[in-house]
Structure formats: structure tokens, C-alpha cells
Structure 1
């Protein structure tokens, strides 16, 4: 069960960074957009991972998986698009200034 353990740090970091933006403006809107993005990415992952596994482009050693699958794709594969959908906008928010600089002209 190696692959589920590999995704844990990504999920934890995503949760911490996302929650760190909770007090920033437009949190609800960001989360709604991230959820929609996650839905699209998970859908694409579902289709293309299943296709790539079906045509034997790659495979996973079963002893390293949790055993849960969506089609042929192991559930662990879906953690990365979920994390990306929430982590990227959260990092952008944290790295952006809280207030726009005032125009001094």
C-alpha cells in the first residue's frame, strides 16, 4: 500500500494551504471555482487513465495500491488533480498582496 501513503503529504499540504486562505476575500467563490475545476480534472483523469491502462501504456503493481478503483484507474490517481485544483488558486491567493498598492500619481 505504497501509493496511498505517497498522496497523503500532497493532500495534507493542500488542506493546510487552502484553509490558510479562508479569511482572504472571495474564499467561497475561489472554492466554488476550484470545485468545478476539480470536477473537470477528475472527469478527464477518469477517462484518460482508464484508456491508458486499458491499452497497456502503464500498469500498477497491485500490492502497492489501496485496491479501490474507478474503472481500471486506482483511486490514488485522483488525488493529484484534486490537490492541483485547490492548491494552485490557494497558493496564488497567499502569494498575492492582500491589498492592491495605492496609486501615488
Structure 2
């Protein structure tokens, strides 16, 4: 199994949680409008930090990847698949927050 297939499972589950949470929310249009900019800023910050620190860790030899299990696409030293987990977090955290928030009366 390749890292891309494993990552796909996590991203799909996280996106499904967010979609279910938004689908159950009565104020989803307002939420999406209000969250669009903060989510985009968070995405840029998390993905840039992932690129910087994963490059450092791979460069220092702390992590290695089997060439047979990655897509071959890289950003510096990082396989493209490494960006899937932060992306899944960017979907999952707002979804869980929405599912667990208190309903105002």
C-alpha cells in the first residue's frame, strides 16, 4: 500500500466529518462565509510550517521514505503525501468543533 492511499483515507474521513457537520448546521452559509478567510490563513501557515520543518527533519535524517511507496512528487525533500495530514487536520478540526459546539437556545 502506498502512502498516497493511506493519506486518501484520512483526508476523505476528515472531509466527510466536516461535510456532515456543515450539513447538520442551520447556519452553514454564515459559517462558511465567516470561516473562509481564517481557514485559508490557517491552511497557508500550517502547510508552510509543514514544508519547513519536514524538510529539516528529512534533511537531518530523522525520517526516510521508501521510494516504492511514494508518488515521487516532492517539495524540496518532502514527498507530496506529507501534506495530507495537515490538510486532514484543517478539515477535521472545524468539523469536530461544529459537531461538539453547544446549541444556543
Shorter-chain TM-score: which interval?
0.7 to 0.9
Q: 1:64 aligned to 2:82?
A: no
* Distance (whole Å) between structure 2 residues aligned to residue 31 and residue 18 of structure 1: 14
Q: CA RMSD in A?
A: 1.7
- Can you give the 5+ residue segments of structure 1 that lack an aligned partner in the other structure? none
Count of aligned pairs: 100
Q: Which ranges of 4 or more aligned residues in structure 1 deviate by more than 6 Å?
A: none
Offset at residue 87 of structure 1 (A):
1.1
Within 5 Å, which residues of 2 pair with 1:86-105?
Answer: 86-97=91-102, 99-101=103-105
Please list every run of 5 or more consecutive structure 2 residues that lacks an aligned counterpart in the other structure: none
Give CA deviations for 1:13-69 in whole Å, capped at 9, x if unaligned: 122122221563212222432222111110000001111111111211111101111
TM-score (structure 2 length as normaliser): 0.84
Q: TM-score, normalised by structure 1?
A: 0.84
Match of 1:56, SS state, is coil
Larger Rg: 1
Normalized per residue, which structure has more helix?
2
Deviates more, 1:26-35 or 1:53-62: 26-35
